Amino acid sequence: MHARRIVFLALPLGLGVACDNSARNQEIANVEKKDAPEAKDPEFEKRMEERKQKRLAEEKAKADVDAARTAALEKVAVLPPKLPKKIDKACAEVGEAQDRFMQRMFTGEVLEKWTAAKGTQLPMTVMQCTKAGSLEVAACQAYALDNAPPELKEDVPEILKVCIDKFGPASEGGAAAQAGGAIPKKPG
């Protein structure tokens, strides 16, 4: 029993001596030092700092654009002063608002493509609105499309989605939360 312990204790020591790579590791470190640019090179440091500043400026500009877009979406995704009475008419109005949006925002080839495709696009928009099943969503979508600024001209899907997120049945409180009230939960 004691002989086994001695063998097991000596084994790691023997392997450690047999696998001594310190000379090889030193050679690799020397090669890496030769290949790496000098850390004290002022030109290198200057270029690295310029790259860093450029990257940070680009990230900030992108974040600013995203924040402005989100703010514009939130600004237009509101309920109109008067809500519609019937969901089918409200969703038909969303389709009409999308057509007005496209007519207002685009010209030339893009408008021609829209005119050719709207026979299939508008029924899909109306169907998605109907599927949401909310007068508030439909009213928000139509109002947002009619009042969207030019910077949101590429964001029709996002405009529609923000209204669904804010006023859809799955949102927390929907329109009542917006008005400060609470929607009672369905017993489930």
Contact by Cβ (8 Å): 150, 99: no
* Per-residue pLDDT reduced to its tens digit, 128-177: 998 888 899 999 999 999 999 998 889 999 999 999 999 887 654 444 43
* Per-residue pLDDT reduced to its tens digit, 34-59: 555 555 688 888 889 889 889 988 89
Q: What is the pTM of this model?
A: 0.60
Query: Domain-by-domain residue ranges, the chain?
Result: 54-173
Supply the DSSP string of 7-74, one letter for each residue. HHHHHHHHHHHHT--HHHHHHHHHHHHHHSPPTT-HHHHHHHHHHHHHHHHHHHHHHHHHHHHHHHHH
Give, as one character, the DSSP assignment of residue 171. S
Burial letters for 100-112: b for 16+ Cβ neighbours within 10 Å, e otherwise? ebbeebbeeeeee
Maximum pairwise Cα distance, the chain: 93
Mean pLDDT throughout 87-99?
A: 93
